[in-house]
Amino acid sequence: MAPPEPPARDENASRPGSGANGRVDTVLLAAPRGFCAGVEMAIKALAWMVRAFEPPVYCYHEIVHNQLVVERFERLGVVFVDDIAEVPPGRPIMLSAHG
């Protein structure tokens, strides 16, 4: 004999912060918030390269998955490339935080 089926339940009923209408009514924000240590290090390293070398400075792939950070570096003269062959000989290049 098979065990009885469990009673049907609302999928959102046991989720903290979920209202009766299935929408989240509470959002908790961690403090402090920010980038992980690896991303912070990559941003600092690329910022150093921008100060140390004449533009353009090249970066293999986008430095981080954050469009605001990428656009800021582009304004500072960083060129993001998907192929190292795009980098002219003798120009500085940095690898992205995520390889």
Q: What is the pLDDT of residues 23-64, one digit of tens each?
A: 888 888 888 788 888 889 999 999 999 999 999 999 999 988
pLDDT over 70 (residue 20): no
Q: Could you tell me the end-to-end alpha-carbon distance of the chain, in angstroms, rounded to an integer? A: 55
Examine residue 89 and say whether the peptide bond preceding it is cis (omega within 30 degrees of 0): no
CB atoms within 10 A of CB 46: 21
pTM above threshold 0.95: no
| Domain 37-95 falls under CATH 3.40.50.11270 | yes
Q: What are the boundaries of each domain within the chain?
A: 37-95
The token pair that represents 94 in the structure block: 């940095």
